[in-house]
Structure 1
C-alpha cells in the first residue's frame, strides 16, 4: 500500500484484536510513516464491524477497503484517482480484480466486460444493471465518503457482510463510474479461507438477505430491483448449498428448508425465471433436498464415466495413429509436398508463413500444407492445405512430405526420413540466451531437455539467419551438421515490398485515426516470473500524452491472456495474426528485450526501449550484449521517463536516429526484401546464382504515417491533482 505511486492517501489499519503480532507491526509502520493510522480494537468484532471502526477515523474524499491478505496492483490508486477526476467525482467507482493462486497464476474476473468505459459516465445503476452480476464485495469499489455518511451505510456483523452493503450502495448511488483495470489481486488460499471453512456460520447468508430486502421495503422507489435481487439471492443460496466445503455434514436438509422459506418470502409473482436458472429455482422453491443430492450424485457418476471412457478412447486413438505413422513412413516420399508450422500449432505467421507464400509463388509445383490448431485456421490464407496436429492427415504429411519447415521443433515423435529436408527458420535475432547457453540458466531453461534439443538439431538441414551475430550464436549453441543460410529473415520481406497504400489500409483496419501516432507496445516474456508482467499502465500513458497518441498492445505469444483490454486509445492486438502488419501500421515501437526490435529496425522507424528490470532479466536469462549500451533508440528506465521521451519528442530526435542507424548497420545486413526468394531458389530450385543483397544505404522502407507530422512535440504532460483517497486496510 505504501509503495503506491499515488502518495495522497490515508492508510487506516484496523487490528481486530488479532492474536498474533499484527498490532505491533501496525505500530512500527505508523512510527515510520505519518500516513498510517492504527486502530486497535479491544475485542474481536469481525470483518464488518472492523471496517466500520476504520471508517469513523477516515477524513479523505474517498473510501477503499482491502482485506488483509489481498494486495493492490502497482499504480492502482493513481489510476483510481485519475478516473475519479475524469468522471466528475461519482458516488461509486467500480474497478476490476484478478484471482491470484499459489502457483503465481492470475486470472482476471470473468465479468470484466461489465466494466467497459465506453459510453457516458457517470451513470446510474439503471443504465448498467449488469454491474449487479459482479462479485458482491466491498473491495472492488471506491466510495465517496460524504455519500456513505449521508446515507448511513454500515457493515453488519456476521459472514457475507458485503451483501447488505454492496447492493444498497449500488442501488442508491446517484452517480456510478467504472474503471476497466485490474486494481486488486484477490488471493486464493489453498486452505484457511473463511468462505471455504466448513461451519454452520454459513447459515448467516439468510439474515444478510433479510437485511437487503428490508432495505428495499423501506424505500418503495427501489422496488423495481426486487426481482433482480431475488434471482441473485437464489443463485447465492445454491452456491452455498452445493459447495462441498461450506456446510457441515447433516445440515444440508435444514439449509434447504430455510432456503425454501426465503424463496417463498421474497419471490415476486409473475416475474419469469431465466431458462438457465430454472432447475435451481425449482429445487429451492420446493425444498427438494434429496432430489438435489441425487442429481449431484448422478452428475458426478456421469463425469467419472466420461473421464474413464475418454481416457480409454484416447489410448486406442493414440495407438492407431502410431501404427498409421509407421505405415506411412514405408511409403515413397512426395517430392512435391511441403509442410509448414509456426509456434507449435499457431497460425500462419513468422518466417515459415513468409516461406510458405514464397513456395507457392516461386515453386508452384510444390503443394503446401500448414499445421495449426483449429482456433488459428482463420489466419491461413487460401492455397495451403490445413492440418490439425495429431490427426491422421497430420502424420501422413510429416511422413511423406519432402520439405518440413518450422520456427520451433516438430513433434518429438517425428522420424526424419532419408530425402526429407528440414528447414529451421528460427524466431528472431537473439538478445537473450538460447540453446545450450541456457544450461546455466535454470529459470529460463525450466526443465528443458538438452539431449532432446541436440537430437532435434541433428535433424536440421538448413538454419536461417538475418545477420552475422545470429549465425555465430546459432552455430555455437546449436552445434550440428546443418547449413546456415545467411540470407535475412523472410518475415521481414514485407517491410520492403509494402507501399503507403498498404500502410493506410492496415491503419484503417485497426481503427487508427488519421493524424494519430500509433505506438506498438510488444514486451517479451519474463523467465523469472510465472505469469505475464504488466510493467506499464498503458491507460495512464495515453492520458498523459494526449489525444494524438494511441497504443497497440501485443502480448508475447507464450501467454494466453491479453496484455491489456481494448479500451479507448489502448487497443489489444495480441490475437492479430501478423505482427509485421502491426509494425507497418505503427509509427514507433516500445519494447523491452523482444527480438522484434531487430525486425522493426528494418523499417527505420523510432524504437524506444523500456528497460526497467534489465538486471533481473539478465540474471535470469542471460544476454549476448548490454542493450542499454547499444540500443536502437532512446532508453527509458521507468514509466514516467518513457512518457517524457514521447512528450519531448526525444523518441524521434537526432540522437535516437543516430543510435538506430548504428543498430541497423549491425543487425539488418541481409533483410533487403528478397530473403524468402533466396531460400526457395537455393533449397527447392537448386540455384546457386542468387539475387545480390541490396546495400543498406540504398534501401527505402515505406515511411510511417507519422513521418509527415511536424517535428514539434505532439504531447503535453499535465500534472493533475486527483482527489484524496482514503484506503482502509483490514
Structure 2
C-alpha cells in the first residue's frame, strides 16, 4: 500500500480536509472526479487517490495528477481489496482534521468545500457534518435527493442523533458527510469488506457522534451509472447484507448505552432486506428461497422484545399473504399484483405504434423457431455498404470458420458487395426479419433497428467505425445541435443488446464505457478494418496507385473531411480546386466526401474539378489510404486509421471553435494532433509549398499520436474477434502492445 508519490506539502500544518477517492475500473470518469476536487475555491486539503489494483488506467491517471499537484497522493494497492478496504487504506494515509469520501465516478460541485468549511466553523467543528447531494443520470437528467426535506428540517445547530433521528432515513453512503478525524480514530471506525459496506459504517457513526451538523446544500453529484453498480448486478454477493447488519447489531451489543436505537435499526434492516428481495435482477433465481429463509431468521433474531414496527415497515395484508406463498407462486402473485395496479392506472385509450401487421406477425412467428447456431448476420453504416470492421470480420470468418452461413443486410446500390456465397437481404424485408429472428451472431458498426428483439443465445458484436474525437452516445446530451432527434432511451435499448464492443486503444475503451453505459465486454483487439494497413508494404502502395491511375512521381493528397452537425445544408469549407491549382502539377488531390453527403445536393461536399479527382464512391477507403502520401482532414476519425501507415497528416481546423461548441470533443486537436494544424487556406497552402507537411516536427507529432491511439492495432484484430466470438478462443493471437503503454491525457 505504498503510495507512488507522497507529495510534499506547502506547510507542515495538517490540512483542513483529507478527501479519499478509491477507484476501480472507472478510467472514463476518474478525471472528472479529481478535477472537481482540485478545482475547488477552498484549497486547504489533501486528495488521497487509492487505486484498488484497477486493470485499466486508473493508477496511471492518479500518478499523473500526483506529479502535477502536491495536494494529490496516489496510493497504489498491490491487489484488489474492495471499496471498503480501499477507503481504509486512504484513511491510513490521511492527515486532515476532517475526512471526506468521494466515489471515483462522482463529482464535487464548485464551492462545496468552502461551504462545508464555513458550516463547520459556524457549528464549532462538530464530529459530523451531513450535506446534500443530487443524482446525475446517464441521459443528462439531474434529480434531487428524495430525502432532502430531512436536511431542510434539521435543527440549526450541532446536535446528537436523539435530537435529529430522521438522519437514519437518509441513504446509507459515506460521501455525504464530513467526519472529524479524531472522532473516527477514537471510535476505531473502519469499513468492512463486501457489498453494502456503508451500512455498518453509517449507522454506528451517526449513533456515536455527539454533535452532528447539517448543510442543506448540494455538494456532490452522485452518478447513476447504467453499468457497474451492485444494484444492477445479479449475484450471491447480495447475501453480504446479512453480515453487514450483524456488524451493526454487534456495535449495539458492545455499547448498551445506545440500546434505544435497536428498534429503528431493526426497521431499517427489514426495509433493506425487502428492497433487495423485491428488486428484479439482484438475486439469482435459485437463491431467492434461501434469501427469504435467511431474511425470516434475521427478523426473528434481531426483533427487540415488544417492538412494533411502524405501518410503513409492516407488510399489508395482501403482501403478507403473498410472502407466505411458496417461491414459484409468490413470483406469479407479485406479477399479477403489479399488473393489476398498472391496469388500474392505465389510461382508457392506448396507442399502438403503426407497423406492418404482416411483417410483425411473420417476425413473431420466426422467433418461435430455434436460433440457428451456424448463422451470422452482418451490416455496416446503416445498411449502406459492405465495408469497415464488419466486412473485415466477415472475410476472416469465411477463412477461419467457413461452415458458418453468413447474411449481409444491404440497401440496393451499395459501393461494395459481399463475396460470392453470402446471402444478401434488404432492410425490412421478409428475409431481413427472418435473419433477425433466427441468426446466432450479429455484427454491426452502428445498431440494428430498435424493433429487433434479442433472443436468448443470440450474440451481438458492436465494432464501431472509428476512434472518437467527437462526442458520442450519451455524452451528446450537452450538445443538442449534435444530438438532434437522437432519443437516448432508444439508443440505450439498442446498446443493451451488445455482448461485445470492439476497441482500438485504451482511450477509446474508456470513451465507449461512458458514452454507451451497458454491461458488454470490451474487446481491446484493434480495429479489424486496419489489419490491411498494418500489414501493407510498398507493393500495396504501388498497386493502389496503379488502380487509381495515379502518376508514380506525383505527391498524392487525400482530402477527407467529416460531417458538420451545425450545417443545415452541408457546404464545403475549403476551395479544393483553388488549392490544387496553387499546389501545381507535382501534386494530385483526391477528394472523398463524407458518406452522409453522397446522396445530398450537388454542392454539399467536395467534388472533382481541375486538379482534383473525386473518389467519394471509390469502394475502398483503405486503398485510398495506401495510395496517398498525405491525409488532409479536419476532425474525421480517418486520421486515427491513416496514422498506422506512418505517413504525414495535416489538419485543416478553420471552424474548430464552432465545431467543438456544437458537437463537443474529447480532446483538443491542437494539443494532440497527428501533424500540423492550420486554420486558414493561406496557411494550408504554405504548409505544403514549404515542405512542412512532411518535416521532422510532423514526424514527431505522428509518432506520439500513433503511440497514443494505435495501441492495439497490430494486424490481427479481425482474427482475434473471430476466434473470441465465433470460436470461443480467448485473445488469440495475443495483442502485441507497444513498448510503452500510452500515457493518460486530459480530455473532455
Provide the TM-score with structure 1 as the length reference: 0.51
Cα distance in 1 for residues equivalent to 2:611 and 2:488: 44
Cα distance in 2 for residues equivalent to 1:628 and 1:669: 21
1:624 Cα offset (Å) = 0.7
Partner of residue 227, structure 2: none
- For residue 385 of structure 1, the aligned residue among 399, 403, 423 is 423
1:444 Cα offset (Å) = 0.1
- For residue 626 of structure 2, the aligned residue among 558, 566, 584 is 584
1:655 aligns with 2:693: no
**Contact 2:720 2:731 (8 Å CA) reproduced:** no
**Contact 2:450 2:493 (8 Å CA) reproduced:** no
1:396 aligns with 2:434: yes
- For residue 446 of structure 1, the aligned residue among 484, 489, 493 is 484
Cα distance in 1 for residues equivalent to 2:415 and 2:481: 33
Q: Residue 550 of structure 1: SS of its match in structure 2?
A: strand
Cα distance in 1 for residues equivalent to 2:591 and 2:519: 40
1:522 aligns with 2:564: no
1:316 Cα offset (Å) = 11
1:502 Cα offset (Å) = 2.6
Cα distance in 1 for residues equivalent to 2:731 and 2:466: 26
User: What is the Cα-based RMSD across aligned positions, in Å?
Assistant: 1.8
Partner of residue 683, structure 2: 641
- For residue 410 of structure 2, the aligned residue among 372, 384, 387 is 372
Number of corresponding residues: 384
Q: Deviations over 1:184-242 (max 9, x none)?
A: xxxxxxxxxxxxxxxxxxxxxxxxxxxxxxxxxxxxxxxxxxxxxxxxxxxxxxxxxxx
Q: Deviations over 1:112-159 (max 9, x none)?
A: xxxxxxxxxxxxxxxxxxxxxxxxxxxxxxxxxxxxxxxxxxxxxxxx
Q: Residue 488 of structure 1: SS of its match in structure 2?
A: coil
1:694 aligns with 2:732: no
Partner of residue 326, structure 1: 364
In the TM superposition, 1:66-465 aligns within 5 A as 318-376=356-414, 378-465=416-503
- For residue 710 of structure 2, the aligned residue among 668, 683, 696 is 668
Cα distance in 2 for residues equivalent to 1:619 and 1:400: 44
Partner of residue 643, structure 2: 601
Cα distance in 1 for residues equivalent to 2:632 and 2:354: 49
Partner of residue 295, structure 1: none
- For residue 553 of structure 1, the aligned residue among 586, 591, 607 is 591
Q: Residue 584 of structure 1: SS of its match in structure 2?
A: helix
Cα distance in 1 for residues equivalent to 2:617 and 2:739: 35
1:611 aligns with 2:649: no
Partner of residue 629, structure 1: 671
Cα distance in 1 for residues equivalent to 2:550 and 2:385: 24
Cα distance in 2 for residues equivalent to 1:617 and 1:374: 33
Cα distance in 1 for residues equivalent to 2:379 and 2:590: 26
Q: Residue 640 of structure 2: SS of its match in structure 1?
A: helix
1:347 Cα offset (Å) = 1.1
Partner of residue 551, structure 2: 513
Q: Residue 476 of structure 1: SS of its match in structure 2?
A: helix
Cα distance in 2 for residues equivalent to 1:670 and 1:329: 38
Q: Residue 335 of structure 1: SS of its match in structure 2?
A: coil
Per the alignment, do residues 689 and 633 of structure 1 end up closer, same or farther by CA in structure 2, a change over 3 Å counting?
closer
Q: Residue 376 of structure 1: SS of its match in structure 2?
A: coil
Structure 1 window deviating more from structure 2 (527-536 vs 555-564): it is 555-564
1:317 Cα offset (Å) = 9.4
**Contact 2:415 2:619 (8 Å CA) reproduced:** no
**Contact 1:564 1:571 (8 Å CA) reproduced:** no
1:615 Cα offset (Å) = 0.4
Cα distance in 1 for residues equivalent to 2:458 and 2:486: 26
1:528 Cα offset (Å) = 1.0
1:377 Cα offset (Å) = 6.7
**Contact 1:682 1:690 (8 Å CA) reproduced:** yes
1:689 Cα offset (Å) = 5.2
Cα distance in 2 for residues equivalent to 1:514 and 1:351: 30
Q: Residue 628 of structure 1: SS of its match in structure 2?
A: coil
1:578 Cα offset (Å) = 1.7
**Contact 1:379 1:577 (8 Å CA) reproduced:** no
Partner of residue 305, structure 2: none
Q: Unaligned 5+ residue runs, structure 2?
A: 1-352, 741-748
